[in-house]
Amino acid sequence: MASANHGDAGLEPDLDTFLTRRREHGEPTMFAGTDTVEGIATARARYAAVMAETALPVERAPELVTEGPVPLRVHRPASEHSGAIVVHVHGGGWVLGGGDVYDPVAQRLADDTRAVVVAVDYRLAPEDPFPAPYDDALAAVEWVVEHADRWHADPARLGLAGDSAGANLAAGAALARRDAGTPAVGTLLVYPPPDFEGRYPSIRGNGEGYFLGAADVVACSKLYLAGTSPTGDTRLSPMRADLAGLGPTIVATAGYDPLRDAGHAFADALTEAGVDVRRREHPSLVHGFLGFTGISATCDAAVAALNTELAGCLGA
């Protein structure tokens, strides 16, 4: 198994056990077989099954909203609502993770931040490749801001959150809100892929054996792009946009993640642009730790800390 500059941090033991078991059972990588229609359906079911196994479960079902431009899943906090609202964009490589798969992640975010969390059920590639997921994320945020009073929320206390592909889309939405003159008061980007044009060492060093592999990154990127050239398009590579004027932004990375170095580069670019960026590095964790709260106390603590920090940005 390759490794890459993890410092003194070893792989978190419970994650090591989980990943070892997957290898011993011959479990395929998350995007294995996605070169066929049948394989994509299988990969979606496989990802949903992993999330159901590894994320802390939730008891409450979300409110489903279908009259907006994009289907939404609304999660209310267990305790008193703070008045803030967060739009959450799920991960899954723009291909996986739709429907109820991310309900545990979004509900946990609502409970930890005491904000209403509106999860965006955006269209998925390859049926709807770029720019459909990007357009859906922006349309959803705009609609939520316009209808925040529906949930007795203050649109001026808007937060954005996403992980992996969802972090890429959330970053694009953050840029759109800034351009509209109403930047989000806090944005949480967990293991983001911010740059389709760059090449980063962790893709090679963490490219095999850590849940998300280099081959997975290539596969989902091809499905999302569907032949579109990413060169010069900041909708695909928000790191290459003018980042000045964004609100406080939390960038969380995992030490054993192919996307780790791209996340570090994004945090550097935000810093250079004068953004209040909070770098939160988790050297013993892997890509996907947001969904591993049910199998790893370390992952659970990391998620709690990130959500609490976003709550601070929201004034919750």
The residues carrying an active-site annotation are 164
Distances in Å between the Cα of 14 and the Cα atoms of 5, 258, 285, 293, 295 are: 21, 20, 10, 11, 7
Closest among 10, 128, 112 to 70, alpha carbons compared? 128
Residues 291 and 90 sit within 8 Å (Cβ to Cβ): no
CB-side exposure of 114: number of CA atoms within 13 Å? 13
Element (H, E) at 253: strand 249-256
What 3-state class would DSSP assign to 133?
Answer: helix
The Cα–Cα gap between 313 and 316 comes to: 8
Q: Give the bridge partners for 189, in sequence order.
A: 162, 251
